[in-house]
């Protein structure tokens, strides 16, 4: 058995001082019946815990680290920026440069605003959608996660789903009532919602490839249908590309599927592992944000120069030819090998490029209800077995695992070999 004495000691101390011993719920590993490992450092595709164990990391800080840990150019950019002062509360040149890079890459972004977390990006986009339409209802989808703002904690994914919390106390009933949560991939239900409430719906917000109930790609026609319904009803379409932006393609899912949302939320990769996110979209809409327009949103650390430097260095490194083709090739290989390893176990593997989830159900998994048919006990055993083999997977069935540029073919072979051994014991 792996020695985890230092992690255990730290976790005991943390439990005394922080709720669940953590600063974000899924890190507590409650769903997989294990104690979290405290990470001392990361390099490339690997993380090292405080007991000196090393793991091949497939969590990637839940998505941001598409280059792996401590990517030299990112570290250099961060050091350089920090040495020049960490925050000014005034405009800096890097913000202009990053806005240019984002706009050049993501088709729907005519204007953009930088914020500090995906939660903030989604919350702000929703406020803008309500402000611009003068309507209050929001349509979201079961199992999608858009951060922890009040309006989104209705049938939410990610940690909310992992902990089996249907919503959250503290969200007033009359706020929750403004959110309609519908099954993913079900256009008929969306049409019905618009028939009943069309004039009151401000926006439809969607993860264009769902990642927070595990990976669930959109059915052909689903995103196109949402686009059409929103356009017809005068509602705004928000793509929450906090995971998919710069992950499934440089221009995100909207570039991949050729659909232009009215507003887009970005996070994770765009901050290169530092707290940075963004929202943006049509010029006429973004022009309603303060100080030009009346919709208010602000942030002391928004566009922070150190985070901007990390984002710029990261996005620059993704520019190389064949970057996404390489990730796709690695993803396809691992998918094939994991499916072979699971030949005797009922599983469904959903994958888009370098994000994938192995659901422990015969499937198919096209929405939350089907994702929830997964055998969570079996997932926990798989997770623990893989961890013992030195492969660090997300500690929840309802999350994506990510392949980074740092994963070598040898790393993937190690992962597949571990999966073969663990699966044979399930
Ligand atoms: C992670 C995530 C968020 C929230 O981002 P935070 O930076 O954790 O606040 C929002 N939407 C999606 C799709 C996400 O995956």
> Domain holding 179: CATH number?
3.40.640.10
Name all contacts of 295-298 with Cβ < 8 Å and 24+ positions apart. Answer: 295/127, 295/128, 295/131, 295/132, 296/127, 297/113, 297/115, 297/124, 297/127, 297/128
> Atom of ligand 1 at shortest distance to CA of 120?
9
State yes or no: pLDDT of 164 exceeds 60. Answer: no
Q: Are residues 267 and 234 in the same domain?
A: yes
- The predicted pLDDT at position 163 comes to 62
Clarify whether residues 15 and 91 are in a common domain.
Answer: no
- Taking the C-alpha atoms of 199, 183, 213 and 33 in order, what is their torsion angle to the nearest 10 degrees? 120
pLDDT in tens, 358-397: 999 999 999 999 999 999 999 999 999 999 999 999 999 9
Q: Are residues 160 and 296 in the same domain?
A: yes
Same domain, 143 and 266: yes
How big is the chain by its Cα radius of gyration, in Å?
Answer: 21
Is 179 in the same domain as 304? yes
Q: Is the CB of 222 under 6 A from ligand 1?
A: no
Average pLDDT, the chain: 96
Cβ of 394 below 6 Å from ligand 1: no
Which strands make up the sheet holding 179-182, listed edge to edge? Answer: 111-115, 277-281, 263-266, 236-240, 201-206, 137-141, 179-182
Q: Do 47 and 96 fall within a single domain?
A: no
CA of residue 163 relative to chain centroid, distance:
17
Minimal-distance CA residue to ligand 1 atom 13 = 242
Residues 158 and 295 in one domain: yes
Nearest ligand 1 atom to alpha carbon 144: 13
- How far, in Å, from the CA of 64 to the mean position of ligand 1? 10
pLDDT score for 165: 55
Number of domains in the chain: 2
Q: Could you tell me the residue range of the domain that residue 410 belongs to?
A: 5-66+323-423
Do both 288 and 405 map to the same domain?
no
Pocket test for ligand 1, best of 59, 62, 118, 396 (most atoms within 8 A of CB): 118
Q: Are residues 99 and 242 in the same domain?
A: yes
Is the pTM value of this prediction over 0.95? Answer: yes
Mutate to test the pocket of ligand 1, among 268, 274, 402 (most ligand atoms within 8 A of CB): 268
Whether ligand 1 lies within 6 angstroms of the CB of 270 is answered as no
- Of 317, 336, 353, the last residue of a domain is 317
Is there an atom of ligand 1 within 6 Å of 159 CB? no
Q: Which atom of ligand 1 is nearest to the CA of 277?
A: 7
- Going by pLDDT thresholds of 50, 70 and 90, the confidence category of residue 112 is very high
Structure tokens at 410: 């040898």
List phi, psi (to 5°) of 400.
Answer: -90, 145
169 pLDDT band, cuts 50/70/90, is confident
Is the beta carbon of 240 within 6 A of some atom in ligand 1?
A: yes
Shared-domain flag, residues 377 and 304 = no
* Residue at a domain's end among 287, 317, 347: 317
Please give the structure tokens belonging to residue 250: 């440089």
Residue minimizing CA distance to atom 10 of ligand 1: 146
- In this predicted structure, what is the pLDDT of residue 231? 98
Q: Are residues 58 and 191 in the same domain?
A: no
Residue 230 sits in the same domain as residue 372: no
- Of 317, 344, 373, which residue is a domain's last? 317
């Amino acid at each position: 058995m792996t020695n985890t004495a230092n992690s255990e000691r730290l976790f005991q101390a943390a439990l005394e001082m922080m709720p669940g011993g953590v600063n974000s719920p899924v890190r507590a590993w409650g769903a997989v019946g294990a104690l979290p490992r405290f990470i001392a450092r990361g390099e490339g595709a690997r993380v090292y815990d405080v007991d000196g164990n090393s793991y091949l990391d497939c969590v990637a800080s839940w998505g941001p680290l598409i280059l792996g840990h401590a990517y030299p150019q990112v570290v250099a950019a961060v050091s350089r920026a920090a040495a020049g002062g960490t925050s000014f509360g005034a405009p800096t040149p890097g913000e202009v440069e990053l806005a240019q890079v984002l706009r050049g890459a993501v088709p729907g972004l005519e204007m953009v605003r930088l914020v500090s977390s995906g939660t903030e990006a989604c919350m702000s986009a929703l406020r803008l959608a309500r402000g611009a339409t003068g309507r209050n209802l929001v349509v979201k989808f079961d199992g999608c996660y858009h951060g922890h703002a009040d309006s989104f904690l209705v049938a939410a994914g990610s940690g909310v789903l992992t902990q089996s919390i249907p919503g959250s106390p503290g969200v007033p009933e009359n706020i929750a009532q403004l959110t309609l949560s519908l099954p993913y991939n079900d256009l008929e239900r969306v049409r019905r919602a618009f028939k009943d409430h069309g004039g009151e719906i401000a926006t439809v917000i969607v993860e264009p490839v769902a990642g927070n109930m595990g990976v669930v790609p959109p059915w052909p026609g689903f995103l196109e249908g949402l686009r059409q319904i929103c356009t017809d009803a005068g509602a705004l379409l928000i793509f929450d590309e906090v995971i998919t932006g710069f992950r499934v393609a440089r221009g995100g899912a909207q570039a991949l599927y050729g659909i232009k949302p009215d507003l887009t939320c970005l996070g994770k990769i765009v901050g290169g592992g530092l707290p940075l996110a963004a929202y943006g979209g049509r010029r006429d809409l973004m022009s309603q944000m303060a100080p030009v327009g009346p919709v208010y949103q602000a942030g002391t650390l928004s566009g922070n120069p150190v985070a901007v430097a990390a984002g710029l260095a990261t996005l620059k490194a993704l520019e190389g030819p064949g970057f996404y083709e390489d990730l796709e090739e690695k993803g396809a290989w691992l998918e094939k090998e994991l499916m072979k390893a699971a030949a005797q176990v009922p599983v469904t593997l959903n994958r888009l490029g370098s994000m994938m989830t192995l659901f422990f159900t015969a499937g198919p998994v096209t929405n939350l209800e089907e994702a929830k048919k997964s055998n969570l006990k079996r997932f926990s055993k798989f997770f623990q077995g893989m961890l013992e083999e030195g492969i660090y997977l997300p500690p929840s069935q309802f999350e994506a695992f990510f392949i980074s540029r740092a994963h070598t073919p040898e790393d993937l072979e190690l992962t597949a070999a571990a999966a073969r051994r663990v699966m044979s014991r399930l």
